[in-house]
Structures are given as structure tokens and as C-alpha cells.
A and B are shown apart, each in its own frame.
Chain A
Amino acid sequence: MSMVASAATRAAPAGKRRGYDGVAVTVPVTIPYVRYSTRSAHWWLGRALAELIRGAGIAKGEVDGVCVSSFTLGPDTAVGLMQHLGMSPRWLDHIPMGGASGVVALRRAARAVQAGDAEVIACIAGDTNHVDSFRNTVSQFSRFAQDAVYPYGAGGPNASFALLTDYYMKHYGASREDFGKLCVAQRDNALKNPHALMKKPLTLQQYLDARPITDPIHLFDCVMPCAGAEGYLVMSEERARALKLPYARVRSTIERHNAFPEDPIQFRGGWAMDKDALFDHAGVAPADVDFLETYDDYPVINAMQFEDLGFCAKGEVAGFIRANEFTIDGSFPFNTSGGQLSVGQAGAAGGYLGFVQALRQLTGSAGRTQVKDAKIGVVSGFGMINYDRGLCSGAAILERGATQGEAA
């Protein structure tokens, strides 16, 4: 990944889609994850909101827009949560899109800020994890899953991902060693992230020797469900500057749902439909990107994102993985927080993890996980395996606005 200075200044081509001029994304917040929590989702979301307000140095009433994602908030929705938290926003959204929630929340919030429907929008995602809540969440995940997947035994998404991993490995040439290289690199990155639940190093041999879960998926291909919350604020650049907040700008975004329904099994995601729109609108090329944060519920989805976002051609992912290093200081800094595979999957917060980490990178607040001179980052999301495939995909190209030093 070259550090092309001109990338950030390349003009976006004229198009019908309007840009995100004047929008600032700021105050990346993570409520430290725990494996199991006796609290409810309201507690985790409430803490994220409090942390955002504290981090921005504003009064609670100044947050006039809220966007919520959570699987375990039931029977409440975002509305009930507002009364619970004593909020009176004039703009409210609830985004049940799992791993795509972080990007999609940005798309909604950025437009609302541009249009003046809200001035300061808190985007929060969080879930609790009781000892039995994962089983309850997956058993009631969707009607198609209930009718046509859950009766087939896995009691969760492992079997669905095993099937598409099996197909992908046979048709697109990726091997377990390739997936293992990504997992090992993510673990190396996670060791520098104080929020990561995985604290022990992982070797490729350990990855390969792990017990099989659902062939060809083995233990380290699976995320660990946990409790946690993530959040960020969307406001005008003007407001961010006035508050002296370091922030990132939005160069481009995409989202797509139920892409390629005719594919007999999933081997690509919606990014493959929209990647040109993503990069053209931003006026940058994949080579200009300094780091990538993908949604990584299973390594095969990482491989698809490399291909479908245009970092390599379809079917060439094995060569791409072999030719690159994916650690923070590697040739292709990737999932620099450690990703869900090494940080943990806090329900819907998993769809925010990469986004919040990208904000840290671009505001110079990533600590030991900081990619040097990171100016352009790509975040992509993937969510909701409703029947046999993930339905929601999204991506955003973010760029450095003002970093910590500059904002102060």
C-alpha cells in the first residue's frame, strides 16, 4: 500500500451522488468488552452514549440525533432506549444490519447532519452477552433461518459459513494456511490493543491444529461472542473544530442488500457491485489506501472483501495474501484492532469495531495500534446471514481530518 500524498487531494469526479462535504466523524469510543455480562444492552448502550458526551465535552441535550444498533435490546427498540436514557432527540434511527451497521449508520447520520435535521448525532452499537443469550439470539435470528437453517443443526452461523467456505476454497483457491495467515496477523495486532479479549499470541501451527468445529471451519476461524459497545459522533466540521475534536472526513460510502440473489451460494458480496462507485466517488484507488478494516466474522469473508473491494482480482486472493503482511507495520495494515476474531464479537458492536478503529487511526489516537501516517482508510461491513448468505454489505472511505495535535 503506497502512501500517495496526492490521493487525499485528488478531486472526486462529477456524479449524481453528492459528496459528504462538511461532515466530521469523531470521538471513537469503545466500552471494554467482557466475555459474559450480567448487565442488559441498555447498560452497554448507555455507557457508550455517556462516553461520547464526555469525550466531546458537550451537554447531554446537545446530542439531538441518535442511531442505535443492537440485537439484545428487545423488547425495546431505539425509541424505548431514548426514554430509558432520558434523551429527547429530534432525529432517531435503529439499524438492524449487524455487521454493516457501522457504515450504514454513518451514511444515515452524515446526510442528516448535511441536511440540518440534526446537529450532533451519536451512533452507538452494543450488546450484552448473558451465558445463554447467544443461543437465544441465533434461534430467533430470522424467519428464513428459523424455517430453513436452524433445523439443520448448527444452532448458529457456523454451518452456513462452513458451507460457503467449503465452496470458496474449492473454487477460488484459498487454503487454510491463507486464512491462518490473516488470523495470526490479526492476533498480533490484537496484542497491541488493550480492548482485545484475546491476550495470547497465536501461531500458524496452533491455528492449523485447532479442533474442527464445522468442516472446514476450525476453532480460530470463529469469533467469540461477548458483551461490549462502540460509538462515534457525526457533526459538522465546523462544530468539530469549535469543540477542538480530532475528526475524520468521509470521502465515499456504499451499501447494498441482497446482492447477487441468483448466485447458488455466496462467493462474493455486494461490494463487487459497488466498488467502482465507492472509489470513483472518493477519487482514490485501492493502492492509495493506508489501511483496511473489514468485517471478519470468519476469515473467508475477509478474503471476499479483498477481492470484491478491488484490492486483488477474484480468484487471486491466495497470491495476494501470500504477497503481503497484514500486521500494523506490514505492507497491508489490516484489521488493526485485531478484528472480531481476536477482540471478540460484541453482537451489533461487531459492526462498529472496524469503523471505530479506523477513526482512531485517522485521528491519531490508535495508541500502539497506530498505522504510521495513516491518511486514507477503508472500512467495510457485512451483515445478517438471513438464510444461506450475508445480505448487507457496505463500505466507507475515510480520510484524516484533524488529528489530536492539530485539533488542539
Chain B
Amino acid sequence: MTEPLVKPKKKNPVLRTRLATLPPVPRSRSALGLTRAAAEGVFEMQVCADCGTVQYPPREVCGSCLSEHVAWKPVDNRGELIATTTLRHSNDLYFRERLPWRVGTVKMAAGPSVVAHVHEDCAEGGTVRLTLKLDRSGQAVLHALPEKDTPNMNDAPQLRESTCDPKFRRVLVTDGKSATGMAVARAMLEAGANAVFLGDASTWKTVPAFDKLVASDPRLQVVELDVTDTDSVDRLAASIGGKVEILVNTADYLRDGGILNRKDVNLARDAMEVNVLGLMRLAQAFGPGMCFRAADGSNNAVAWVNILSIHAHAALPARGAWSASKAAALSLSQTLRAELRGAGVRVMNVFPGPVDEEWEQLTPPPKIAPSGLAKAIVKGLQDGVEDVYVGDIAEELRTRLRENHKAVERELGQ
């Protein structure tokens, strides 16, 4: 049984902070299929279209019939743990710092034998569930988990290395006053966050629900933060930058309007200021500090969350400027992901459909409740994925974009 995680002690400022190391990064191009699956939180392996053989490790052609038609598909993730070992020595820096480390061989019901990280609650000889997760390097690895969930299983140090669980971590919600921001704060507290910093860009505005939330839990702390103001962002980073272990960028500027119905770019500029340049300001101010603390104990800095929109992938012409800002933010997030990956800090992008909040007043249902969006964010962090699609509209558009992106473009423009 996993020992519950102990609340980390206050950081001793005299001690040197352990710098981040990464597990081995190189993979063949085929093996990056596993990384894609892990990033999206699905369990897939290559399956031969001709003979049905499940391939592992990933291959170019079927290891059984030599067919070149091997496609990534969901497969049965159960197997028997036929051998285990505990590493007490490693030549790899990352693992040396985390010994002992348990690995094992799992004979999958689907066919192949795989080497996997083995959860401490798995018994040798027993049935296990395999799951694909991203490790700190951002590459996929297999974890063998107990057949059924066990108490505190997410607290196991090996598994926590692949997840971004908010438990005992401190979270900055960049716009804490929006419906989504407040919901995210509540969900983080429920998930066991040690502290939630609520960014407030409009201290002059009274929002009763916000005041009520702030009064409800001593772990909440309001901080002034205007993402369009570089000084404001820098001031906050100087004050709490060393404490932010998860940053959720909820700041958003959502207004209607396309291109030809206006004679100016003011609305577009405002959207870019918040959604794109705001993200960049936050990253420049908070990113380096998070990288520095990326291996700092059990409450290390782990994740950067961007709340984008499904329309980052396909513009909604009725909100053309806003869609463009979300697409730009998505592009920026890929650069940020590349830059944070060296320290092992994960960038998780959230792609919701319409959210049920004031600026979506005229949008017909279905709309996602802010609490549902927040729950999906927490689950994404606990699972350690990179992409989270929230709501039926987001899922539908995602599927249809894969099928025929031109059809999606035409229909969104109607």
C-alpha cells in the first residue's frame, strides 16, 4: 500500500536547490507514436492491419507478417507482471537521484512483453494495468499500475514523476476573478493544493462571488496581476515566482467580431495583448523560476496550463480576432513547451468548447460549466497529459478536423 505523501516542509533557503535532470530523451520516430498517445492520455500500440499482431517496441513493419500497414490503435492494456527488479544502481543521473526504482516485465494480454515502470502496489505474478505516461523528459513510458485503484496510489514517488498532481503544490491562477478562474481555484483546493494565488487585474471591481470564495479558505491569496502590464507581471514574479509550481493561465479576452465588420484593429490588438503577449509576459517572468525549481523535492514546479479554445485549431469567423489570438497562443505554447522541456516542466493545453460564462451569454448550449472545465484541468494534471479537450463540441470538432478540416472551415463560417 502506498504511503500517503507527506506535506512538504517549508523550503530551507540555505540549502542548494537540486537542479533538474531528465530521463533519456532519444526515441526513434516510430516510438514517438507512444509519445503522442501518452500526451493525449490514450493507450495505443501499433496493430498490424493484415495479421492483427500487436507490435512492441514500435516497428516500421509487422514483426510477424512483414506488412507495412501497422497503425496506432487502442489495445487491451492488461497483462501479467512476470518479473520485477528494483534498481539500486544506475548509470543515468536522473535515476541515480531517485533510487530505488522498480521496473518489471509485463506479458500483455494483447501479445507482446513490455518493460515498464512498476507501481509499488503491483504484486509480481499478478494482473496489472499498463498506462502510457509522459516522463519528465516529455517522452512516453509505460507504467504498470495495480489492476484496481489503491489508496493514495498517485502519491507513489515513481508515478508522481510522470504526473503533475496539484496535491501539496502551489498554483497561480492568472485571472482568478473570472468564472473559470474561480472554478479552477476551487478544484485545485479540492485536489489538495497547498496554496492558490488568485490573480486580480481589476481590484477596483467588486465581485461578490469572488469575495466569498476568497473568504472560504485560508489557502487562497489574492495577488494583483494584469497580464497586459509587464511591470505588474514582473512585480508578482519577484514576489511569488519561487512558489509557483503550477501556473494556470485563465486570462482571456473574448469579444465578438471578425475582420470586415470593423474599420480598426483595436479589438484584435486587445485580444492579442491578453491572449498572446500576456502569455509571453507570464512565461518570461515565471518560466525561468519554474525551471529552476523543476526538481525541487516532492512539490517541484511541474506544469504550465494554457486555457485555449477548440477554435485555436479552427477559427470561428464570428470571433475572428479572438480565434486568431487563440491560434497564436497555441503556436506560442509549442515554443514554450520546447523551452520548458529541458527542465521537465510540462505545458498542458486545454481546448474547451464554449464555456458557460458572461461573454458567452448569446452562445446556445451545450456549454461547459466552469466547474466541469476546472475538473478536466485537474484530471489532466493528475494524469500528466499535454492536451485536454473539454466538452462535446470540442470533441466533435477535434474528430471532424481529422476527417475533413475543409468541411469544418466551411461550416464554422456559415
Contacts and interface: CB of A to CB of B under 8 A. Distances in A.
Contact of A387 (B23, B57, B101): B57
Nearest to A387: B57
Nearest to A263: B113
Interface stretch (B69-77, B82-90, B189-197): B82-90
B28 interface: yes
Interface string A211-253: 1111111000000000000000000000000000000000000
A323 B27 CA distance: 47
Contact of A215 (B57, B82, B88, B90): B88
B95 A214 contact: no
Contacts of A85: none
B31 interface: yes
B85 A162 contact: yes
B117 A264 contact: no
B85 A214 contact: yes
Contact of B57 (A144, A153, A211): A144
A159 B56 contact: no
Which of B26, B135, B137, B139 gathers most chain A CB within 10 Å? B26
B101 A153 contact: yes
Interface string B172-210: 000000000000000000000000000000000000000
B103 interface: yes
A265 B114 CA distance: 9
B83 A265 contact: yes
Interface string A328-365: 00000000000000000000000000000000000000
A147 B31 contact: yes
A152 B31 contact: no
A265 B105 contact: yes
A163 B84 contact: yes
Interface residues of B, number: 39
B82 to A, nearest CB: 6
B91 A212 contact: no
Contacts of B85: 159, 162-163, 166, 214-217
B297 interface: no
A166 B91 contact: no
A156 B91 contact: yes
B116 interface: yes
Contact of B141 (A138, A151, A265): A151
Interface string A157-173: 01110111011000000
A159 B103 contact: yes
A188 interface: no
A134 B58 CA distance: 26
Contacts of A146: 24, 26-28, 31
A162 B124 CA distance: 14
A159 B83 contact: no
A391 interface: no
A146 to B, nearest CB: 5
Interface string B12-31: 00000000000110111011
Contacts of B114: 148
A29 B334 CA distance: 57
A150 B92 CA distance: 9
Given A147-B31, A159-B85, A214-B86, A152 B115 contact: yes
Contacts of A211: 88
B105 A153 contact: no
Given A163-B85, A216-B85, A150 B91 contact: no
B114 to A, nearest CB: 7
A149 B115 contact: yes
Contacts of A153: 23, 87, 90, 92, 94-95, 101, 103, 117
Contacts of A387: 57, 115
A213 B89 contact: yes
B24 A139 contact: yes
A148 B115 contact: yes
B255 interface: no
Nearest to A163: B83
Interface residues of A, number: 37
B367 interface: no
Contacts of B90: 153-155
Interface string A248-292: 000000000000010011000000000000000000000000000
A90 interface: no
A215 B86 contact: yes
Contacts, number: 110
A388 B63 CA distance: 15
A135 interface: yes
A152 B116 contact: yes
B379 interface: no
Nearest to B99: A153
Nearest to A135: B91
A156 B114 CA distance: 17
Which of B30, B31, B83 gathers most chain A CB within 10 Å? B83
Contacts of A135: 91
Contacts of B269: none
A147 B139 CA distance: 10
Contacts of A164: 83
Contact of A214 (B26, B58, B88, B115): B88
Contact of B103 (A139, A156, A163): A163
Contacts of B107: 264-265
Interface in A110-164: 134-135, 138-139, 143-144, 146-156, 158-160, 162-164
A151 B139 contact: yes
Contacts of B58: 147
A212 B89 CA distance: 8
Contacts of B86: 212, 214-215
A261 B95 CA distance: 30
A160 B90 CA distance: 13
Given A143-B28, A146-B26, A167-B83, A152 B117 contact: yes
Contacts of A167: 82-83, 105
Interface string A163-187: 1101100000000000000000000
B370 interface: no
Nearest to B114: A148
B104 interface: yes
A166 B56 CA distance: 22
30 contacts: A135-B91, A138-B91, A139-B26, A143-B28, A144-B57, A146-B24, A146-B26, A146-B27, A146-B31, A147-B28, A147-B58, A148-B56, A149-B115, A151-B139, A152-B115, A153-B92, A154-B87, A154-B92, A154-B103, A155-B91, A158-B87, A163-B85, A166-B124, A213-B89, A214-B85, A214-B88, A264-B82, A265-B105, A265-B113, A387-B115
Given A147-B30, A153-B95, A167-B83, 10 more contacts: A146-B27, A148-B57, A152-B115, A154-B95, A155-B90, A160-B115, A215-B85, A264-B105, A264-B107, A265-B83
- The list of the 5 closest CB pairs from A to B, nearest first, reads A155-B91, A162-B85, A155-B92, A147-B31, A148-B57
